[in-house]
Amino acid sequence: MPEKFESDFLPVMTVRELVVFPGSITPLFVMRTKSHEALEDALARDKRIFLVCQKSPDVEDPKREDLYDVGTVGEVLQVLRVPDGTAKVLVEGGYAGRIIELSDVGNHLQALIVHNQVNVYDAQPVNALMRATSKLFEAFAELSGKVPVDLFNSIRNLKEPLAYLYAVSNYATLKIEDKQEILESNSLEEKFLLLNKALEAENQILELETKIQGQVKTQISRSQREFYLNEQLKAIERELGISGEEDPELNELAMAIEMSGMSADAREKAEKELGRLARMAPMSPEAAITRTYIEWLTEVPWNNATEDKIDLERARAILDEDHYGLVKVKERIIEYLAVAKLVGKMRGPILCFVGPPGVGKTSLGKSIARCMDREFVRISLGGVRDEAEVRGHRRTYVGALPGKIIQSMKRAGTVNPVFLLDEIDKMSSDFRGDPASAMLEVLDPEQNCEFNDHYLEVDFDLSQVMFLTTANSMEGIPHPLLDRMETIRLPGYTEDEKRHIANRHLIPRQRSEHGLKAAQFRMSKGTLTHLITGYTREAGVRNLERTIATLCRKVATDVIEHPRKKTGTLTKEKLREYLGPVNFHDTQLERKPDIGIANGLAWTNAGGEMLQVETTIMKGKGNLTLTGMLGEVMQESAKTALSYIRSRAVELEIDPDFYAGVDIHIHVPEGAIPKDGPSAGITIALSLTSAVARFPVRQDIAMTGEMTLRGRVLKIGGLKEKALAAHRHRIRTIIIPRDNLDDIEEIAEEVRNQLTFIPVESLDEVLDLALVRPRRVAKKQVKGRRTHAQLGN
Ligand code: ADP
């Protein structure tokens, strides 16, 4: 707009909280009557109007003193009248003007205005100031985000300093006082300085704001989002009529907590978690975790107990019904029950059944539960190496669950089940913690009323549980655990016992499980013995039961395919047809004496076993080779035996230099099974002597005994199991250390009666018994050699 006059009378429109700058196009809402009149006046003339800001926005009818001195002369570009009497006006700022005189002309204000000019200025400082402004404005645009890119670019393109200054002043959000000062100043440098100062202050505030906002935003955005989604979900549910404010699932959980009878601690915990759950988004993973946790708390049995019915008469009947034999074991169980009945509590040591697989350890546990009318649960500790398997993972783990103990308690559904811990000797420990120490807490009556599962977090009372344990051997049981247990040995069964077990228990059970009638599956005593000795060779009856199951399947198939065939009696030929050729031959008795081979008796996790020790001698340089996965102790036994024979070569009628030109190889077959222990000592020595002296060894004798370097025979363990093994192999004579004589008592009568036990104290006795050598000649030779030796002196 051209500056038409140096001074002029113009209609005045007062504006609130707004400084209209020259060069800007500004929309104004006209509401007050005086402003309307001024507008009308302007429109009636040349559309020019003086726009000036009130010092205070609250004044309705401002006088001279209420107005700033400087305003802007503008031109009305457009008027838009609204029916409610207001008008929207678009004005373009022309130039800054200063009021000289103001007068009220009837219904609006009018003023004499002079141009508020800018003094002459130096281009250089102005340019520098302008550049600073440019930077500050750019920062402002970025920080505030309120300057559209197009607008920003067009402002940047303004080359004329004053126009640029006004444009920036217009668009930057500055205080009214600052804007007014900029408009009023007559010095361009000062105007820029004022603008820059205001911009800088503004930028600082903006920066601070952004920083604070950023912090707050990260803090609340997640919970805001969840809250928002939650509210939406609730709204959707309400629309669908799925739920009112009450969540049926929460009610159910609350009810379950109420009904569970949980401890005060657990209850407090459960209710707290329930409260948290109510505030969570129902579909969130966290809610799922919390829900599962509460469910666990409500589902473990807190006070649901079965009533013990201990009637010794009935208990005896049940034990006899479920198991054949095992007289001593059953008696011990009856004693245990009697004490439990008197004391009214499960105190006293924990019973541990020790024995090879398949001797009925687990099924005894089940029978005990039946005797007492308790629930039965069983866990296997074999291979458990992580404490968390026993005690659970903390809830912070993904997919955490309670440990085996609590899981089984839930399965039992009562606080007082019979709880069988199988294979307690097979636990191991590593960096993940020691499961044995957790087990100690489980089994210790002083501690187990407050068993702490990591997942459950609250204490659980295990004191009413009757714990039983099983193990294959006592060696693997950690000592502190062993201290708390009373071990009951189940050495295995004789052939006769196995037959009875098969007839009374295994065959009837398998028959009924396979839907066969008694007439469809029968076996004579002879056939059954053949099945036991020819197809299975074990201490227990597990394979026997499995083989009977196999036969039942074959017979069942036959019955379906050939319904007319009548005979249900199994013969040896039938066994061969169904099971193939026998696995084990009874050849031991018939075998002739043999050089370098001796029958040893060993004791393994699978019960007693007979192992043959073989020795061969070949040309060589005096090397001793041992094969067959022999442990260190067994290797030492072999070296001891060799040293003994060398030291006694003369007495043993062996060439004292036999060792020089030969290599000796000792092997114990079934090389894939690791073997160790000292009790093979005399067997190795016998085999070695036989090989060196070329005298054969009797094959109808088996033996066990540790040997010293001087040829004394020492006591061994597991005689019961070893005797059974020898018996199984049809051996009838066994050589045992004299110190083991007392153990013969414990061997099953049937076996004891059929075996001849020969106690020995020295290896010489062993050699005399087992080597086949022409005695008379031998003695003479020995004498002769001695004389020879003496002559040599
Ligand atoms: P373990 O736990 O000692 O390895 P189990 O208890 O699993 O052995 O026994 C294997 C099978 O043999 C079971 O079916 C069990 O009922 C049966 N059994 C073992 N001993 C006897 C016995 N004395 N009388 C009857 N059945 C037995």
Residue 246 confidence class, pLDDT cut points 50, 70, 90: low
- Give the pLDDT score at 781: 41
**Is the confidence at residue 782, as pLDDT, over 50?**
no
429 is catalytic: no
Q: At what angle do helices 632-647 and 681-693 cross, to 10 degrees?
A: 40
Q: Which atom of ligand 1 is nearest to the CA of 357?
A: 4
Q: Which atom of ligand 1 is nearest to the CA of 490?
A: 3
204 lines ligand 1 (CB under 6 A): no
C-alpha angle 459-478-358 in degrees, rounded to nearest 5: 100
Give me ligand 1 centre to Cα 537, in Å: 15
pLDDT in tens, 574-619: 889 989 888 877 655 557 888 999 999 988 777 788 888 999 999 8
**Is the confidence at residue 293, as pLDDT, over 50?**
yes
639 is catalytic: no
Mutate to test the pocket of ligand 1, among 473, 541, 546 (most ligand atoms within 8 A of CB): 541
326 lines ligand 1 (CB under 6 A): yes
- Say which range, 22-36, 173-187, 277-291, 411-425, has the weakest mean pLDDT: 277-291
**Is the confidence at residue 563, as pLDDT, over 70?**
yes
C-alpha distances out from residue 599 to 483, 681, 710, 777, Å: 36, 12, 22, 26
Sign of the C-alpha dihedral computed for residues 765, 613, 475 and 498 taken in this order: negative
pLDDT in tens, 308-362: 888 999 999 999 999 998 988 999 999 988 988 888 776 668 899 999 899 999 9
Atom 19 of ligand 1, residue of closest alpha carbon: 360
Assigned token pair, 722? 């070893």
pLDDT in tens, 23-49: 999 999 998 889 999 999 999 989 999
606 lines ligand 1 (CB under 6 A): no
DSSP string, 429-476: -BTTB-HHHHHHHHH-TTTGGGEE-TTT-SEE--TT-EEEEEES-GGG
Of 438 and 775, the one with more pLDDT: 438
pLDDT in tens, 477-514: 888 888 888 999 898 898 889 999 999 999 999 999 99
- State the Rg of the chain over Cα: 52
Query: Which residues fall within 8 angstroms of residue 322, CB to CB, at 6 or more apart?
Result: 363, 364, 366, 367, 370, 505
**Is the confidence at residue 784, as pLDDT, over 70?**
no
| Three-class DSSP category at 309 | coil
Residue 779 confidence class, pLDDT cut points 50, 70, 90: very low
Across 412-428, b (16+ Cβ under 10 Å) vs e yields: bebbbbbbbbbbbbbbe
319 lines ligand 1 (CB under 6 A): no
CA distance 176 to 15: 12
**Is the confidence at residue 776, as pLDDT, over 50?**
no
**Is the confidence at residue 437, as pLDDT, over 90?**
no
The single-letter DSSP state of residue 712 is: B
The single-letter DSSP state of residue 1 is: -
In the block, residue with structure tokens 């609204």? 82
- Give the pLDDT score at 454: 92
Catalytic residue of the set 35, 408, 679, 690: 679
CA distance 704 to 716: 7
- Give the pLDDT score at 785: 36
Of 525 and 673, the one with more pLDDT: 525
Q: Which atom of ligand 1 is nearest to the CA of 509?
A: 14
359 lines ligand 1 (CB under 6 A): yes
Mean pLDDT for the stretch of residues 88-96: 93
- Give the pLDDT score at 788: 33
Q: Which atom of ligand 1 is nearest to the CA of 504?
A: 25
Give me ligand 1 centre to Cα 326, in Å: 11
| C-alpha torsion 79→80→81→87, nearest 10 | -70
pTM: 0.63
C-alpha distances out from residue 532 to 335, 354, 497, 504, 537, Å: 33, 23, 11, 15, 7
C-alpha distances out from residue 603 to 251, 298, 606, 772, Å: 61, 48, 8, 27
Q: How confident is the prediction for the chain on average, in pLDDT? A: 86
Give me ligand 1 centre to Cα 718, in Å: 21
Give me ligand 1 centre to Cα 354, in Å: 13
Mean pLDDT for the stretch of residues 719-745: 90
Residue 527 confidence class, pLDDT cut points 50, 70, 90: very high
C-alpha distances out from residue 417 to 305, 495, 517, 670, Å: 8, 35, 35, 42
- Say which range, 129-138, 216-225, 620-629, 710-719, has the weakest mean pLDDT: 216-225
Mutate to test the pocket of ligand 1, among 364, 368, 507, 542 (most ligand atoms within 8 A of CB): 542
CB atoms near residue 657 (< 10 Å): 10
Residue 201 confidence class, pLDDT cut points 50, 70, 90: very high
Q: Which atom of ligand 1 is nearest to the CA of 363?
A: 6
**Is the confidence at residue 296, as pLDDT, over 50?**
yes
- Give the pLDDT score at 538: 86
Task: Give percent above pLDDT 70 in the chain.
Answer: 92
**Segment of 115-124, 207-216, 222-231, 670-679 carrying the highest mean pLDDT:** 115-124
| Three-class DSSP category at 48 | strand
Residue 208 confidence class, pLDDT cut points 50, 70, 90: confident
Task: Quickly list H helices, 241-309.
Answer: 248-260, 264-278, 285-299
Task: Quickly list H helices, 562-631.
Answer: 572-579
Of 250 and 413, the one with more pLDDT: 413
95 lines ligand 1 (CB under 6 A): no
Q: Which atom of ligand 1 is nearest to the CA of 422?
A: 2
Mean pLDDT for the stretch of residues 739-746: 91
Mean pLDDT for the stretch of residues 270-287: 84
22 lines ligand 1 (CB under 6 A): no
Residue 430 confidence class, pLDDT cut points 50, 70, 90: low
**Is the confidence at residue 6, as pLDDT, over 70?**
no
Mutate to test the pocket of ligand 1, among 329, 505, 605, 724 (most ligand atoms within 8 A of CB): 505
Task: Give percent above pLDDT 90 in the chain.
Answer: 44
Give me ligand 1 centre to Cα 363, in Å: 6
Give me ligand 1 centre to Cα 501, in Å: 9
Give me ligand 1 centre to Cα 364, in Å: 8
**Is the confidence at residue 772, as pLDDT, over 70?**
yes
Atom 16 of ligand 1, residue of closest alpha carbon: 363
**Is the confidence at residue 754, as pLDDT, over 60?**
yes
361 lines ligand 1 (CB under 6 A): yes
Q: Which atom of ligand 1 is nearest to the CA of 323?
A: 24
